[in-house]
Amino acid sequence: MSPSPTPPFVPKQALGILANAVDVYEKTGGKVTAQFAEEYIKLVSPFPADSVIHDNACGPGTVTRKIMATSPLPTIKIVATDSNPAFLSHVRAAVIANKWPVEVENMRSEAVALPNDYFTHSFTNIAIFMMGSAGLDGATEIYRTLKPGGVAVVNCWQTLAWLEPIKAVQMATRSPGRAGKAPPVSWADGTQLRKVMVQAGFKEENITMSSSEASAVAKDLHSWAELSWAYLGGLQGWAQEDEDRWDEAIDLLVAKLQEAVGTTVDEDGIVYMEASQHMLIAKK
């Protein structure tokens, strides 16, 4: 029997925080993705009685929750899918507690195990850029599983007040060679979002794009920074130096967040950090 591969290194501080990964997500990024979802659900609701809706890469069920908050007709059906079992367990618990008409399935968005022309609506909230072939494999499945006449909504980050602070901390606390690697494709100007949807089959004339703003809110910026660093700091991999320099990284992140473009503080000391989305609505 071959030995099992050594798991990647994760700093002990991140391990402690990510033991409650769903909770951390809900306290940080999830608050912002919920505002994005609310924005476009307003545009595409109400949902007809026979709606079959995909909450694709559902995370903690952000889109499902926003749809259910519109008090839809009881005959609609939602299928919530993700590849992360921790998120799926969280959604299943909410479905049972609230008696929602939702099926929860472990599925990769690049290989949705459902027939062609299945959904009337397909929502992919802040996830397409994580999918294969720079998003195209996810877009292809969105197109395939949507009924003719159905509506797909996909979005990506446009701006994020905490992006430059995170990069600055990576540069300052990591050895040369580890820090500062740019992602292979930039989604920030919205071009890639439109490109993959057109390549997947949606016609240019059936696509509309717009933007909207949201904000992350932190009563305790140090805590918000630590949770966010545990989540985002290791996306390109962790190393021992990140554990050794953890406290320094968090202090620096707090300072960089305070001075970032898009950060404001109100009279009660509550910190608001802006983010915006490119929102694409396409009809098949």
Ligand X SMILES: C[S@@+](CC[C@H](N)C(=O)[O-])C[C@H]1O[C@@H](n2cnc3c(N)ncnc32)[C@H](O)[C@@H]1O
User: Which residue lies nearer to ligand X by CB, 127 or 252?
Assistant: 127
Query: What residue ranges in the chain does DSSP mark as E strands?
Result: 52-56, 77-82, 102-106, 119-124, 146-160, 207-218, 263-265, 271-283
Contacts of 275 (CB under 8 A, 6+ apart): 32, 157, 158, 159, 160, 161, 162, 213, 214, 215, 216, 262
Among the residue ranges 120-128, 146-154, 218-226, 240-248, the one whose residues contact ligand X (CB under 6 A): 120-128
Looking at the DSSP bridge assignments, the partners of residue 123 are 55, 153
CB of 126 to ligand X, least distance (A): 4
Q: Binding string, 11-30, against ligand X, x = CB under 6 A?
A: ------------------xx
Q: CA–CA separation, 33 vs 216, rounded Å?
A: 10
User: Which residue lies nearer to ligand X by CB, 87 or 143?
Assistant: 87
Among the listed residues 78, 102, 127, 221, the single contact to ligand X using CB under 6 A:
127
Q: Binding string, 170-209, against ligand X, x = CB under 6 A?
A: ----------------------------------------
User: Please, which of residues 27-86 interact with ligand X by CB under 6 A?
Assistant: 29-30, 33, 37, 57-59, 62-63, 82-84
User: Which residue lies nearer to ligand X by CB, 142 or 252?
Assistant: 142
Transcribe 122-160 into DSSP letters. EEE-S-GGGSTTTTHHHHHHHHHHEEEEEEEEEEEEEEE
Of the candidates 52, 2, 12, the one whose C-alpha atom is nearest the C-alpha of residue 234 is 12
Give how far the C-alpha of residue 241 lies from the chain's centroid of Cα atoms, to the nearest Å: 28
Residue nearest to ligand X according to CB distances in the complex: 59
User: Which residue lies nearer to ligand X by CB, 44 or 239?
Assistant: 44
User: Which residue lies nearer to ligand X by CB, 19 or 130?
Assistant: 130
| Cβ pair 269, 278 in contact under 8 A | no
Among the listed residues 38, 110, 164, 213, the single contact to ligand X using CB under 6 A:
110
Among the listed residues 40, 87, 119, 187, the single contact to ligand X using CB under 6 A:
87
User: Please, which of residues 135-174 interact with ligand X by CB under 6 A?
Assistant: none
| Cβ pair 25, 231 in contact under 8 A | yes
User: Which residue lies nearer to ligand X by CB, 47 or 231?
Assistant: 231
Q: CA–CA separation, 192 vs 130, rounded Å?
A: 12
Q: Is 125 in the site for ligand X (CB under 6 A)?
A: yes
- For 224-260, give one letter per residue: b (16+ CB within 10 A) or e: bbbbbbbbbbbeeebeeebbebbeebbebbbebbeeb
Judged by CB under 6 A, the number of residues near ligand X is 21
Summarize as ranges the residues that interact with ligand X (CB under 6 A): 29-30, 33, 37, 57-59, 62-63, 82-84, 87, 108-110, 125-127, 130-131
